[in-house]
Amino acid sequence: MGGFEDDEPPSKRARASSVESASLPDCFPFSKSANPLGSTMARPLPSQGKEVMVGSKGVIKEEFVRIITKTLYSLGYEKSGAVLEEESGITLHNPMVNLFREQVIDGKWDNAMVTLNKIGLLDENIVKSAAFLILEQKFFELLRDDNVMGAMKTLRSEITPLGVNRKRVHELSSCMISCSPQQLFLGFSKLGIDSSTSRLKLLEELEKVLPPTVMVPERRLENLVEQALTVQRDACYFHNSIDGLSLYIDHRCGKDQIPSRTLQVKN
C-alpha cells in the first residue's frame, strides 16, 4: 500500500489498493474547469434519476466510466482516477463498499463481516460465499501468528455454521493437525507470508464473488479489449493471430497481404 517510484513504467505500477478515492489536492496543476481540448471533452454525468448512457449511439451505460476508473486505479494512476470520479459524478464504489474494502485491507475481520451485511446484497448465497473468504483469511492469519485456539474457534463457530464449501472446511480442519501454521498459510493461500499482499488477493477473490455492480472486477477493461481484438481477428479471412492488430483502427487485411512469394522449399 506504499507509493510508486516516478521512474517506474505505468505497466509495472501495481496498484496497492483501490480502497481510497483520494480527493484532488489544491496544488494539482489542472483546474477542475480546464478543458484544453475544447467542447469535445466529456461533461459531468449526473447520476440522479434514470441511468446515464454515454457514447454517440447511446448504448453504453455509465458502468463504462466505472470500468475506466477501476483501470486507472489498477495502473497506479490514483489522481487520474479521483479526477474522473469527481468530473463525471460517477463513483467507483459507494461509501459502504469503500469502508468494506478498507476493513479487509486493515484485517478488521469482525467489522468487515458487519459491513458485508450492510452493503445490500439480496442473494444470501453470495453473502455466505463472501463471508467464507473473509473468515478463511482470518483463520490463516491466526494460524500464522501461532494463535491456534483463535483459529480453531473461528473454524468451529464462524466458518462451519455458514454451511458452505464443506470439503474446504474439512481440509482446513485436517491441516490444523498435519501441517505447521507456516506451511498451512503458504500451502493453502499461495500468497506468501505478507499480509498486505494476501489481503489484496482476497479483495480480488471477493470481486469475483460479489456482483460487478458492487465491486468492479479487476482487469475488466483488459478483458473487453482482448475480446474486441479476438472478434476482429476472427472476422478477418486472412488473419489467424493477434499479431498486427491495433487498438487505433478496426483491422481488416486486404487480398494483397496474402503471402505470394516462396521463402522456403522442402526437399
Burial (CB count <10 Å: 0-12, 13-18, 19+), residue 209? middle
- Please report the pLDDT score of residue 35 as a whole number: 42
Query: Considering only 54-58, 96-100, 228-232, which range has the smallest mean pLDDT?
Result: 54-58
Mean pLDDT within 27-56 = 47
Yes or no: say if 103 and 114 are a contact pair by the CB < 8 Å rule: no
Mean of all residue pLDDT scores within the chain: 75
Chain segment 181-220, per-residue pLDDT in tens? 555 555 444 444 456 688 989 999 999 999 988 998 888 8
What is the structure's pLDDT at 38? 40
Amino acid at 10: P
Q: Measured between alpha carbons, how far is 10 from 144 in angstroms, rounded to an integer? A: 34
Assess whether pLDDT exceeds 60 at residue 254.
yes
Cell of 215: 465491486
CA angle (39 as vertex; 38, 42 as ends), nearest 5? 105
- Tell me: pLDDT of 11 over 80: no
Which whole number is the average pLDDT over 160-189?
74
Cβ-based neighbours of 239, under 8 Å, separated by 6 or more: 233, 245, 251, 253
pLDDT at 211: 92
Q: Quick one: pLDDT at residue 264?
A: 79
What pLDDT band is residue 250 in, cutting at 50, 70 and 90?
confident
pLDDT bin (cut points 50, 70, 90) of residue 253 is confident
pLDDT at position 22 is 39
Higher pLDDT, 143 or 80: 80
Whether residue 20 is predicted with pLDDT greater than 80 in this model: the reply is no
- Which segment of 18-22, 46-50, 67-71, 259-263 scores lowest on mean pLDDT? 18-22
CA-to-CA distance for 188 and 176, rounded, in angstroms?
12
Higher pLDDT, 236 or 140: 140
CA–CA distances in Å: residue 232 to residues 67, 112, 224, 247:
22, 43, 13, 10
pLDDT digits (tens, 9 = 90+) for 92-146: 999 999 999 999 999 999 999 999 999 989 999 999 999 999 999 999 888 888 8
In sequence order, what are the beta bridge partners of 61?
53
Looking at the predicted structure, is the pLDDT value of residue 243 above 80?
A: no
